[in-house]
Amino acid sequence: MSEFVFEMDNISKEFPGVKALDNVSFRVKKGEIHALVGENGAGKSTLMKVLSGVHPFGSYTGHIRVKGEEVQFRNIRDSEHHGIVVIYQELALVRLLNIMENLFLGNEVSKNGIINWNEAFIRTQKYLKEVGLDVSPETRLINLGVGQQQLVEIAKALSKNAEILVLDEPTAALNEEDSKNLLKILRELKSKGVTCIYISHKLEEVLEIADSITVLRDGHSIHSQGVQDDGGMTEEKMINFMVGRKLTSRFPRKEHKAGEVVMEVKNWTVYHPELVEKKVIDNVSFQIRKGEILGIAGLMGAGRTELFLSLFGKSYGREISGEIFIDGKKQTFHSPRDAIRAGFTYLSEDRKEKGLVLGMDILSNTTLSSLEKVSDHGVMETFDKQVVKAGVINYLKEVRITNHYVKQLQIKTPSIEQKVKNLSGGNQQKVVIGKWLMTEPKILVLDEPTRGIDVGAKFEIYNLMNELIDNGVSIVLISSELPEVLGMSDRVLVIHQGRITGDLPWQEATQEKCMYYATGGK
C-alpha cells in the first residue's frame, strides 16, 4: 500500500472556454494536514469538486486513487462512501433545524422511515464532544455563532465516518478565538488519523497548522513540499509561488497627513434588534479626520459592523441614540439615502447579499446609488436638497461614467454589460467600490474589503485606498485580519463588546496591544 491516502494524477478539467485544471497532480499522505493554497481562480475549488464527485468521472481527465485503489466517482455519495467529505465556505446547514436534525440530515437514524431520536441524541452528543462543542444537541442552528456552526459541520462529517476532510476557507468568517479553537480540533482529529485538506487565504494560519503545502496557480500545480523541508516554508515564499512574482510588501503603506475632523460621532448607543436589554453599541464617541485611514479592530461580535451599519441610516438595531456631525454640521440619517447624500457611505462585508445585484450588469450596479447623476431631469445639485426627481436615464452619460470607473479600478471584464455574477470576487468587490466612489463620498467605510479575494486583487485595493486618501476621501477600514488593519491604517480603534477600548496611532499599534484591548484589557 502506498504512503498516500489519495493521489490525483494528471487531472485536467475544462469549462467552456477555460482550462480550469491543467495536468494537476495532488498527493496527500495519510493522517497529515495538507494545505492547498493559491489565488482565487487558481483551481483549488475545482480540484476539490473533482475529488468529491461534484464534477463526475468523465467530465475530467486523469486518475484518482484512494488508498491505492483507482476510483471513479459519479456523485458526492460515491466519494463519501470512500470517506471523503467536503465542508464548504458557505455552510450547508439548515438554520431553523437543531444540531441533531442537521447532523443526520439525509442520513437519519431510522428504521422503516421512523426516526429514533433517542439514538440520534446520544450519537450527536458523542460527535459534539469530539469537536469540543459543549451545547445541547437540541440547540437550533440560529442560536449558534459562526464558529460553533463550523464545528457542527465537522461533527456532521465525522458522523459520516470521514477519513479525508476537506475544509474550504474554514476560518474566513471566524474570529481569532474561534479560529484557534478550530485549529486545535483539527490537530486532535489528525491525532486520531483523519487526513485533512486545508484551503485558506490566511497564510499565517496555513504555516501554523499544515504539515505539507501544495500551491496552485492558473490551474497548474506549481509547488508541493513539506512545511519543514527545503529550509522551511515561509509566507513570502508561498506568495511568490502563488502570484509568480515578488511582492515587495503585502501592504503598501503610505504616510498620510490627517487634516481637520470630517465626521464626529458622539455618545452613540444601539440596542440589539431582538434582545430587549442588550446594548450592542454602548456610548461610543470618535472622530474621523480628513485624509486618514481609520482602522477598526476587534473580535467578531464586538460590534464593528453593527456600529457602522447603525450609523449608515439606521440600517441595524433599535433605539439608536447619539449624534453625528459631518463637517461640524449635525446630521440625522433616517435611511441609507440620507447618509449617502451627506457623503457617508458603507461598503458591506457581504458583497453578494448586501452589495451587489448579481443578476444586473456592471453598468447598472455601478450607477445604482447615483442614478440622479446620469439622469437628464434629475436634480441633486446640493446635498441639502431633499427632493430627488425620478428622471430619465441618459445612457450615454451612464456608459461614460461606468467606463471611467472600470478603467480607474482596473476591473477585468470583456464588457460593462457583463452580469456581475460572472465576475471573480476581486472584480465584484471593485464594482461595489466603483458604486460608492460614484456617489463622491467624503467618508468611505470599507467593511472587510478584501475578504475572500486573492492576493493580487487585495494589493490593488490597498493601493486604491491610498489613492483615495490622496484625493481627500477619509477611509474607515474594518477587518478581521489584524495584519491588514495594522498594515494599512493611520490610526486604529479597537472595539470590545460595543465599546472603544483602544485608540492607537499606527506606530504604536502592534498585534499584541490590539489583542490586549480587543479582549477587554484595560
Residue 512 within binding range of another protein, rule CB under 8 A? no
Q: In whole angstroms, what is the distance from residue 259 CA to residue 456 CA?
A: 31
Interface of this chain with another protein, residues 478 to 497, rule: CB under 8 A:
none
Task: Please pick, from the candidates 435, 442, 458, 496, the single residue that binds another protein as defined by CB under 8 A.
Answer: 435
- Total residues belonging to the chain: 522
Q: What grid cell was written down for 295?
A: 482602522
Only one of the segments 57-65, 128-136, 240-248, 358-366 lies at the binding site for another protein (rule: CB under 8 A); that segment is 358-366
Only one of the segments 115-123, 133-141, 318-326, 336-344 lies at the binding site for another protein (rule: CB under 8 A); that segment is 336-344
Max Cα distance, the chain (Å): 76
306-338 residues labelled b (16+ CB within 10 A) or e (exposed): bbbbbbbbbbbbeeeebebebeeeebebeebeb
Residue 54 within binding range of another protein, rule CB under 8 A? no
Q: What is the DSSP string of 431-500?
A: HHHHHHHHT--SEEEEESTTTT--HHHHHHHHHHHHHHHHTT-EEEEE-S-HHHHHHH-SEEEEEETTEE
Give whichever of 278 and 337 is closer to another protein, judged by the CB atom. 337
Q: In whole angstroms, what is the distance from residue 53 CA to residue 465 CA?
A: 41
Task: Please pick, from the candidates 354, 404, 499, 513, the single residue that binds another protein as defined by CB under 8 A.
Answer: 354
Encoded one letter per residue, x for contact with another protein by CB under 8 A and - for no contact, window 437-476 reads --x-------------------------------------
Q: In whole angstroms, what is the distance from residue 3 CA to residue 225 CA?
A: 15
Residue 390 within binding range of another protein, rule CB under 8 A? yes
Residue 399 within binding range of another protein, rule CB under 8 A? yes
Task: Please pick, from the candidates 90, 208, 392, 472, the single residue that binds another protein as defined by CB under 8 A.
Answer: 392
The site that binds another protein (CB under 8 A) totals a number of residues, namely 39
Give whichever of 112 and 386 is closer to another protein, judged by the CB atom. 386
Q: What is the amino acid identity at position 150?
A: Q
Whole-number minimum distance, CB 404 to another protein, in Å? 13
Only one of the segments 91-99, 276-284, 290-298, 330-338 lies at the binding site for another protein (rule: CB under 8 A); that segment is 330-338
Q: What grid cell was written down for 8?
A: 490525483
Sheet strands (E) in 161-211: 164-168, 195-199
Q: What is the DSSP string of 95-114?
A: TTSBHHHHHTTTS--EETTE
Interface of this chain with another protein, residues 256 to 315, rule: CB under 8 A:
312-313, 315
Give whichever of 442 and 496 is closer to another protein, judged by the CB atom. 442
Only one of the segments 171-179, 251-259, 369-377, 512-520 lies at the binding site for another protein (rule: CB under 8 A); that segment is 369-377
Residue 18 within binding range of another protein, rule CB under 8 A? no
Q: In whole angstroms, what is the distance from residue 164 CA to residue 28 CA?
A: 10
Q: In whole angstroms, what is the distance from residue 197 CA to residue 199 CA?
A: 7
Q: Residues in the site for another protein, rule: CB under 8 A?
A: 312-313, 315, 335-337, 339-341, 346, 348, 353-360, 364, 368-369, 371-372, 375, 378, 390-393, 395-396, 399, 403, 414-415, 417, 435, 439
